Amino acid sequence: MQHQNKVFALEGKVQHYQWGGFTYLPQLLSRSNSRKEPFAEYWLGAHAQAPAQLIGSTDLHQLLQDNPSLLGEKVKKTFGRLPYLLKILDVKDMLSIQVHPTRESAIEGFAAENAKGIALTAPNRNYKDDNHKPEVMVALSEFYLLHGFRAVETMKAILTKVPELNFLLEVFGDGDYRALYSRVMEMPAEEVKATLQPLLDRIVPAYESGSIEKSDPDFWAARAALTYKQEGTIDRGIFSVYLLNLVQVQEGQGVFQDAGILHAYLEGQNVELMANSDNVLRGGLTPKYIDVPELMKHVRFEPVVPHVLEATPVNTVEAVYKTPAPDFELHSIKLGEGEKYSVAANTVDILIVLEGDVVATENDQPGIEMSWGDSLLLLDGAELTLEARSPVLIYRSTTP
């Protein structure tokens, strides 16, 4: 393929995980969903499992493998591959309680599982690749999530307030997070059921009658019990709903998840930018494989004060969500009708339009008309002019 052009229309891959919604992504991407499939995530990146496609041409993983110089000198030297993965998520049902490994742990764990001959697609596989997975999310609607262990005082308060969890006060003491989390994760299944059943008998009817607010962990614990109902057992992830901070963010606000921070998305739509990895260690609220000893190696046993990110303006049009991750940077671009804006890429950038209509023009090439859900790939050195036909919201992923 010829590379005088540095701007290409891009199409991502939809992931139909069971927790996804039925309407948000099909509407965004102008696709029918007559089969009523869950549309959970839309991936825009070069991850080998689900690479985005240059429309009418090759996939992005293949393109960058064959032409690593397209990444630009700095990114090629530092990472050797596209270091990020951009996603749009529609969270209808709660996601699993999860944690991501550091880069060193991922390299080690991936090699160890390969050496044991565990297939990449095996259900008991912990490491899908050799990379870490820090991630930033920005809400596209009101959004709820669990994020990091509660501070000592609020942890004591909730363990005191919920009678069925009083027994954990002694285990936690003045802040023994490891003992507390080990206790609930290593408890035999019969004991989990005996402990949580009285709690669920109390809160599920209240949830079903609509008398619990979303700001109350009981709301999400009851929802989790109904979502992940399996005959004869109760999911131990329900404990974590009380142990982790319950965070509500508004449209345009973000949260950064670093390695070792337990978290779970609960409800809403977001744009998510992460290191190019699919490494997840789970701690409940899932029918998927849970490897408790491996999980415990990665959890940071310390309190977390949730930090809600606001975008930092670059200029009047573009703003950036700053995080410590060297792999990625998420920007928002907002244009009023008739406004023009120039974008220059010094590595591979991916743009997705989430509102409005815009014409993107590269030098003297014909303009590319873009609308809701359309994406563009910008290669190193690309220069692009955006002209809004109506008020526009674009998210741009790049490497700092």
Q: Which residue has the tokens 């849970």?
A: 290
Q: Among 399, 355, 396, which residue's Cα sits nearest to residue 377?
A: 396
Distances (CA, A) of 1 to 8, 61, 98, 300: 12, 14, 41, 46
Helix (H) or strand (E) holding 109: helix 103-115
Distances (CA, A) of 189 to 137, 198, 228, 252, 385: 33, 15, 15, 40, 59
Q: If you write DSSP's letter for every residue of 68-98 in order, what string do you get?
A: GGGG-HHHHHHTSS--EEEEEEEESSPPPPE
Does 135 count as an annotated binding residue? yes
Does 250 count as an annotated binding residue? no
Residue 215 DSSP code: T
Residue 136 and residue 168 in contact, taking contact as beta carbons nearer than 8 Å: no
Does 100 count as an annotated binding residue? yes
From 125, 282, 389, 396, active-site residue: 282
Annotated catalytic, 282? yes
Q: What span, in angstroms and rounded, lies between the C-alpha atoms of 40 and 384?
A: 31
Does 331 count as an annotated binding residue? no
Amino acid at position 251, single letter: E
88, β-bridge pairs: 42, 271
Q: What span, in angstroms and rounded, lies between the C-alpha atoms of 95 and 264?
A: 6
Positions marked active-site: 282
Q: Residue positions in the annotated binding site for Zn(2+)?
A: 98, 100, 135, 263
Q: Residue positions in the annotated binding site?
A: 98, 100, 135, 263
